[in-house]
Amino acid sequence: MKRANPWIVILLMASLSSPQALIGAEAVQKIRIGLPSLALTYMPFYVAQEKGILKKVGLEAEYIQMNTGIQPQAVINGNINFFPSLATGISAAVAGLPLVAVLNFYTITPWMLVTSKIINKPQDLIGKKIAISGIRNTGHYLLMAWFKKVEINDKDVGFIMTGGTASSFASLASEQVVGAVLTPPFDDKAVSRGFKKFILLGDLADIPTSGLITSRAEITNHRDRVQKTIAAALDAITWIRNNREESVTMIADKFKITPAEANGTYETFLSTLNKDGRLPLKVLRGYLDILRQERPLPADLDPQKFIDFSMLPAAK
């Protein structure tokens, strides 16, 4: 039998016994995050990936494009580890899925109803079509709150479900609809094409927006992985705050907008961020009240069942 080269054996044993090699092999953990489309609200995820922040905390991430509506079950099935829509995740948790919010990015999302110039008053939308990302997500709930305020029956308006903000913008730009619920920078892109910002919707209801939703099993079995993901997202936000020029360039490149538009979008983005990554109980209770309009929920339902901020840094 042919003997192995002793130098190869020695080198192999040395590499296996090297602490650095073992640590490197064990440190990298893979995660999958479901994102429905390109959107400003997901900037922390883009920055965490592109600036190597995930890698620094020992994570290797794969971003998977999937419709918001299927993300809760995808987490439960183990197809992904996280998704960002807090409204979708909490709604699914209220319905019985073992999901929990572990991070919240925003105090408000500047959801905007953008329309063609033929729409001059709310009633002009009756009999027309509006593009929204999906049913029972943040944009949809905000639009319903506005309809109620202006006394429009939602059954008198048609909807196109696009699956994401970028697709809603495309539907508006191609004139398949007369209006679309958009977030920056798509609202400004639409204005540059001759459309108009009709009404800001983001402050009309208490609705959680974007952060991290995961399963209770993920927290129980891979708590360190969840903590690393949270840390990377928070570090990405810090990077965005501290690197204005580079952030503006990234926004311009990613969303194909002008530097001036990107600068305004950056300012809007900073103005929406919260301070500590937590979701106020007031917002959560308000959202549960919205959900009560479409399903029976116990009056004494504890909103804290659907959040776990124990892995966040201590509030200052």
What is the domain-level CATH number for residue 148?
Answer: 3.40.190.10
**Low-confidence winner among 43-57, 187-201, 213-227 (lowest mean pLDDT):** 187-201
Does residue 74 carry a pLDDT above 90? Answer: yes
Residue 221 lies in a domain: yes
Each residue of 135-150: b (16+ CB within 10 Å) or e?
Answer: ebbbbbbbbbbbbeee
Query: What pLDDT does residue 9 have?
Result: 37
Distance CA 186, CA 164 (A): 11
Residue 11 lies in a domain: no
Number of structural domains found in the chain:
2
More confident residue, 154 or 9: 154
For 87, 157, 227, 273, 299, the CA distances from 234, given in Å and listed in that order, are: 20, 39, 11, 11, 34
pLDDT, average across residues 202-207? 87
- Please indicate, yes or no, whether residues 245 and 301 belong to a single structural domain of this protein: yes
Candidates 31, 34, 94, 25; CA nearest to 225 is: 31
For 10, 155, 209, 213, 274, the CA distances from 278, given in Å and listed in that order, are: 52, 35, 12, 13, 8
End-to-end Cα distance, the chain:
68
Q: Indicate the residue among 200, 224, 251 that finishes a domain.
A: 200
Q: What's the CA dihedral at 97, 100, 104, 110 to 10 degrees?
A: 10
Q: What is the mean pLDDT of the chain?
A: 89
Amino acid sitting at position 234:
L
Residue 15 lies in a domain: no
Amino acid sitting at position 89:
G
- The parent domain of residue 263 ranges over 28-106+209-306
Does residue 8 carry a pLDDT above 70? Answer: no
Query: What pLDDT does residue 181 have?
Result: 96
Query: What pLDDT does residue 135 have?
Result: 82
Query: What pLDDT does residue 305 have?
Result: 95
- Please indicate, yes or no, whether residues 41 and 99 belong to a single structural domain of this protein: yes
pLDDT, average across residues 224-235? 98
**Low-confidence winner among 16-20, 110-114, 191-195, 266-270 (lowest mean pLDDT):** 16-20
- Please indicate, yes or no, whether residues 81 and 144 belong to a single structural domain of this protein: no
Does residue 91 carry a pLDDT above 90? Answer: yes
**Low-confidence winner among 40-44, 89-93, 131-135 (lowest mean pLDDT):** 131-135
- 121: tokens are 């008053």
Query: What pLDDT does residue 271 have?
Result: 92
- Please indicate, yes or no, whether residues 145 and 277 belong to a single structural domain of this protein: no
Residue 315 lies in a domain: no
Q: Indicate the residue among 200, 220, 239 that finishes a domain.
A: 200
Residue 17 lies in a domain: no
Cβ atoms 178, 125 nearer than 8 A: yes
- Please indicate, yes or no, whether residues 218 and 288 belong to a single structural domain of this protein: yes
**Low-confidence winner among 14-28, 205-219, 220-234 (lowest mean pLDDT):** 14-28
- Please indicate, yes or no, whether residues 190 and 102 belong to a single structural domain of this protein: no
- Please indicate, yes or no, whether residues 185 and 116 belong to a single structural domain of this protein: yes
Give 57's contacts (C-beta < 8 A, 6+ positions apart).
228, 231, 232, 235
pLDDT, average across residues 269-273? 93
- Please indicate, yes or no, whether residues 123 and 185 belong to a single structural domain of this protein: yes
Q: Indicate the residue among 200, 226, 260 that finishes a domain.
A: 200
Does residue 172 carry a pLDDT above 50? Answer: yes
Residue 278 lies in a domain: yes
Residue 163 lies in a domain: yes
Distance CA 197, CA 192 (A): 11
Is 253 in a helix, a strand, or coil? helix
- Please indicate, yes or no, whether residues 221 and 170 belong to a single structural domain of this protein: no
Query: What pLDDT does residue 299 have?
Result: 85
- Please indicate, yes or no, whether residues 102 and 215 belong to a single structural domain of this protein: yes
Residue 289 lies in a domain: yes
Does residue 21 carry a pLDDT above 60? Answer: no
- Please indicate, yes or no, whether residues 238 and 301 belong to a single structural domain of this protein: yes
Does residue 4 carry a pLDDT above 70? Answer: no
Is 312 in a helix, a strand, or coil? coil
Confidence of residue 26 (pLDDT cuts 50, 70, 90): low
Number of residues that this document lists for the chain: 316
Each residue of 154-185: b (16+ CB within 10 Å) or e?
Answer: eeebebebbbbbbbbbebbbeeebbbbbbbbb
Each residue of 15-49: b (16+ CB within 10 Å) or e?
Answer: eeeeeeeeeeeeeebebbbbbbbbbbbbbbbbbbb
292-314 tens-digit pLDDT: 988 899 888 999 999 999 999 98
pLDDT, average across residues 122-126? 97
- Please indicate, yes or no, whether residues 193 and 126 belong to a single structural domain of this protein: yes
Q: Which among 11-20, 137-146, 224-233 has the top mean pLDDT? A: 224-233
Q: Read off the pTM.
A: 0.80
